[in-house]
Amino acid sequence: MSEQIVLPAPADFHVHVRQGKMCELVTPQVAKGGVRTAYVMPNLVPPLTSTDAVLSYKAELERLDPSIQWLMTLYLHPDVNPEEIRKAAKAGISGVKSYPRGVTTNSNSGIEDYGVYYPVFKAMEEEGLVLNLHGEVPSDPEKNISILNAEVHFLTHLKKLAHDFPKLRIVLEHATTSNAIEAVSSLPSNVACSITAHHLYLTIDEVAPQPHHFCKPLAKEPKDRKALQDAIKSGNPKFFLGSDSAPHPLGSKVPGVQEDGSVSACAAGVYTSPILIPLVATLLESFGALDKLEGFVSTHGRKFYGVPAIEGKELTLRRTGNAEGEGIVRGTLKGEGVEVLPFWTGKKLEWEIVN
Amino acid sequence: MSEQIVLPAPADFHVHVRQGKMCELVTPQVAKGGVRTAYVMPNLVPPLTSTDAVLSYKAELERLDPSIQWLMTLYLHPDVNPEEIRKAAKAGISGVKSYPRGVTTNSNSGIEDYGVYYPVFKAMEEEGLVLNLHGEVPSDPEKNISILNAEVHFLTHLKKLAHDFPKLRIVLEHATTSNAIEAVSSLPSNVACSITAHHLYLTIDEVAPQPHHFCKPLAKEPKDRKALQDAIKSGNPKFFLGSDSAPHPLGSKVPGVQEDGSVSACAAGVYTSPILIPLVATLLESFGALDKLEGFVSTHGRKFYGVPAIEGKELTLRRTGNAEGEGIVRGTLKGEGVEVLPFWTGKKLEWEIVN
């Protein structure tokens, strides 16, 4: 078993770094987790629906951590028209993120119908922007659609978009089901798929009793987790890391009784940034895919996006020791008036970053 | 729409009243929820595996609330042999509860294989004791068994037991799936099924973000919830109320970061006792089954168990008013060093008990 691993500059192709005090706390954690290139989600309040707003956010992130290559996205919204797409392309924005309305954090401005966006997608295809899909349909009890099958029901939309825009690069984000893996595998090479770290570990059994494991899409059955693991083991370059690291203040993750007597619900999101690459190494090793680590975190995503590895930004990992407490992820991160709990707290990482 | 309902003495054929300070807090709430006869679960610490332990527990419950008819159960366990069954029958114990090992609260002493208990089941059949089944198999990732399909996988055991003991009365407790409803419907009249209040309302969408809604069996898909509702609407006497009201201290329901850096999980259980019959009336009305309320809460279960309604113990419900705050369930119940949050907190009950 190798005791040291050198990776070309790792990239996380799906990360939330939020805004305000939370942004100040979590932005520097991206590099601490071993990531050199970060593809940033636009679901702020208000959502980033203009090139100017995205560039202003990018400047803020560069101020907070100039060491990271920040790749930026627009939020798909009626304000985003073909003209805005061309402006975004000129400004170096990489992609556009689509949220079905109401399915996850800050998605109230999300889309209800893809048809109206066909001119936008056409412009994206021409300008080389990537379409990033949160691949879930909204729940609908009358149709037996719930957070369990919301992703499977979305796959018809994915297939139609892939068919209608054969030159548009499309990423199905944070796949969680064997059906999604099969769909992406069977579609042409313009369609790829990001996979989070936490969905390689969680199933519904670990999520239901633990709000800190609750996220959208929900982790599903053991067979689904195995399909994600097998996709990575296969070495298929369609599958790469997008952590969906999504910090929420501790109080938003743990329900409490409100003053009016109602009970708050738990925000959707799992926060992995501070430990990301060591965690991915630990997980891949656990299911016999450590030899696929470089492809999954450094190579496949960069190739799909056309973002070459940065010279001199290699990351070296070494195995953690066996002394008591070594490699154990401990407690919350605290910023000014904000506290967030990383995934894997209390558990051991088998790999650590060599500083 | 009727504005007052008089029900023959309601019965809850599955209730947890715990032990110690929690027992002191929650036992009087059973009557407050409108229940006159309560069928009590034996999963204490240690489990109630002897007639003497059950009788001692019953005496404690009678001391805490002599107004309730307490029906008692033994915990299926290697200590329970045919001789103990005959002793239990003479002592007036009503049934035996089986917990598959490790699937829910205090089930570590649960059974792994029904075959070894066939002599016990034979004695129960002869003595007229009821077998109460927690109908889930333990999770097994290798076989893709999770808390989502644990009940469906259990149904083969239910069918085999029903076949092998045609005169043994068997209750599949707290059914949550359309498959379970179909299985019970198709089995002979010695097999019945309890249904909780909360599973008539919850689906996975309401459970995943809310630890206070987490219970075993997990609430499943909208189609499953509809199957439970339809079973009640059908008026089939195989289906009756067993609330599985299961109080946990507030701190056990809400995960926290422990001193050692690990994160606690959430205990399984939804607590409905204090509002049970008004809640069931509210829910049945919501899906057009108010005319089946009497059968579901007062008649069907009593007939199956052979426990006639108590004269003079009718319960009268009236519709709650529309003034602000009327009918709203508010906040936690507090006892000595223990606090518990009822289901439906912050929501309105459409019916209330006439004192």
- What is the ipTM, given to two decimal places? 0.94
Residue B96's pLDDT band, with cuts at 50, 70 and 90, is very high
Q: What's A309's DSSP letter? A: P
Q: Report pLDDT digits (tens) over B32-85.
A: 999 999 999 999 999 999 999 999 999 999 999 999 999 999 999 999 999 999
Q: Give which of A142, A198, A200, A205 to mutate to test B binding, by max B Cβ within 10 Å.
A: A205
Confidence band of B168 (pLDDT split at 50, 70, 90): very high
Give me the half-sphere count of Cα atoms (radius 13 Å) on the Cβ side of residue A76.
27
| Among candidate residues A199, A162, A210, A167, the one with its CA nearest the CA of residue A184 | A162
For residue B260, pLDDT beyond 80: no
Q: Are residues A257 and B144, on separate chains, in Cβ contact within 8 Å? A: no
Q: Is the pLDDT of residue A122 over 70?
A: yes
| Furthest CA-CA distance within chain B | 59
Using a pLDDT cut of 90, give the percent of chain B over it.
89
Q: How much of chain A, in percent, has pLDDT values that exceed 90?
A: 89
Q: Which of A203, A221, A257 sits opposite B332 (nearest CB)?
A: A257
- Segment B266-301, tens digit of pLDDT: 999 999 999 999 999 999 999 999 999 999 999 999
Q: Which residue has the higher pLDDT, A263 or B290?
A: B290
C-alpha radius of gyration, chain A, whole number: 19
Q: Residue B253 burial by CB count (10 A; 0-12/13-18/19+): exposed, middle or buried?
A: buried
Encoded tokens for A316: 């070296």
Q: What is the pLDDT of residue A183?
A: 98
Interatomic CA distance for residues B227 and A147, integer angstroms: 19
- Percentage with pLDDT > 70 across chain B: 97
Nearest by Cα to A16 from A250, A270, A293: A270
Mean pLDDT of all residues in chain B?
95
Residue B147 has what pLDDT?
Answer: 97
Give residue A2's pLDDT. Answer: 59
pLDDT band of B255, cuts 50, 70, 90: confident
- Average pLDDT of the segment spanning B344-352: 96
Nearest 5°: phi and psi at A351?
-130, 150
Tell me: pLDDT of A202 over 60: yes
Identify the pLDDT of residue B110: 63
**B-chain residue closest to A140, CA distance:** B222
Residue A132 has pLDDT above 80, yes or no: yes
Cross-chain CB nearest to A214 (options B209, B263, B341): B209
CB contacts, 8 Å: A260 with chain B = 346
- Cα distance from B52 to chain A (closest Cα, Å)? 35
Position B182 scores a pLDDT of 98
Given pLDDT bands bounded at 50, 70 and 90, which one contains residue A109? low
Determine which of A96-110, A115-129, A278-292, B20-34 has the lowest per-residue pLDDT on average.
A96-110
pLDDT one-digit tens code per residue, B131-161: 999 999 999 999 999 999 999 999 999 999 9
**What is the widest separation between alpha-carbon atoms in chain A?**
59
Q: Which two tokens stand for residue B336?
A: 């000595």
Indicate the range of A209-223, B110-124, B213-227 predicted with least confidence: B110-124
User: Closest Cα to residue A156, out of A129, A130, A136, A128?
Assistant: A136
Does pLDDT of A83 surpass 60?
Answer: yes
Statement: residue B89 has pLDDT above 60: yes
Q: Which residue type is seen at B253?
A: K
pLDDT at A318: 98
pLDDT at A38 over 70: yes
Query: Could you identify the residue written with the tokens 């930026």?
Result: A72
Q: Which residues of B touch A203 (CB under 8 A)?
A: 141, 146
Q: Is the CB of B332 less than 8 angstroms away from the CB of A148?
A: no
Compare B56 and A103 and report the one with higher pLDDT: B56
Which residues, in sequence order, are CB contacts of B154 under 8 Å at separation 6+? B100, B133, B135, B136, B137
- Distance CA(A97)–CA(A95), nearest Å, equals 7
Q: Region of A92 please: left (phi>0), alpha (psi -120 to 50) or beta.
A: left
Kindly state the tokens that stand for A58.
């990018």
Question: What pLDDT was estimated at residue B111?
Answer: 67
Interface size, chain A vs chain B, as Cβ–Cβ contacts under 8 Å:
121
pLDDT at A1 over 80: no
- Residues 290-349 in B contacting A (C-alpha not used; CB under 8 Å): 328-332, 341, 345-347
CB atoms within 10 A of CB A56: 11
Q: What angle do CA A52, A54, A55 make, to 5 degrees?
A: 65
- Residue-wise pLDDT for B218-253, tens only, equals 999 999 999 999 999 999 999 999 999 999 999 899
- Per domain, the residue ranges of chain A are 9-312
- Report CA-CA distances (Å) from A155 to A147, A159, A202, A278, B65: 14, 6, 22, 31, 56
B109: pLDDT strictly greater than 70: no
- Rounded to whole angstroms, how far apart are CA atoms A211 and A93? 34
The residue of A147, A225, A330 whose CB has the most chain B CBs within 10 angstroms, and thus the best one to mutate to test that interface, is: A147
Q: How much is the pLDDT for A198? A: 98
Q: For position A111, what pLDDT does the model report?
A: 67
Q: Helix, strand or coil for residue B304?
A: helix
Q: Which of B202, B175, B179 has the alpha carbon at shortest distance from B272?
A: B202
**How does residue B345 score in pLDDT terms, banded at 50, 70 and 90?**
very high
Do residue A265 and residue B332 have CB atoms under 8 angstroms apart? no
pLDDT band at B194 (very low <50, low <70, confident <90, very high): very high
Per CB-CB distance under 8 Å, the chain A contacts of B209 are: 211, 214, 265-268
User: What DSSP assignment string belongs to A153-170?
Assistant: HHHHHHHHHHHH-TTS-E
Task: List, as ranges, residues 167-226 from B with C-beta within 8 Å of A.
Answer: 203-205, 207-212, 214, 218, 221-223, 225
Contact present, A217 and A151 (Cβ < 8 Å): yes
CA distance B82 to B118: 10
pLDDT at A257: 78
The predicted model gives A220-229 an average pLDDT of 98
- The CATH superfamily assigned to A9-312 is Metal-dependent hydrolases (3.20.20.140)
B252 touches chain A (CB under 8 A): no
The answer to whether A148 contacts B204, with C-beta atoms less than 8 Å apart, is yes
- What gap in Å lies between CA B191 and CA B131, rounded to an integer? 10
Q: How many CB atoms lie within 10 A of CB A327?
A: 18
Phi-psi region of B203 (alpha: psi -120 to 50; beta: other; left: phi over 0): beta
CB-nearest partner of A208 from B208, B222, B257: B208
pLDDT of residue A264: 86
A4, β-bridge pairs:
A318
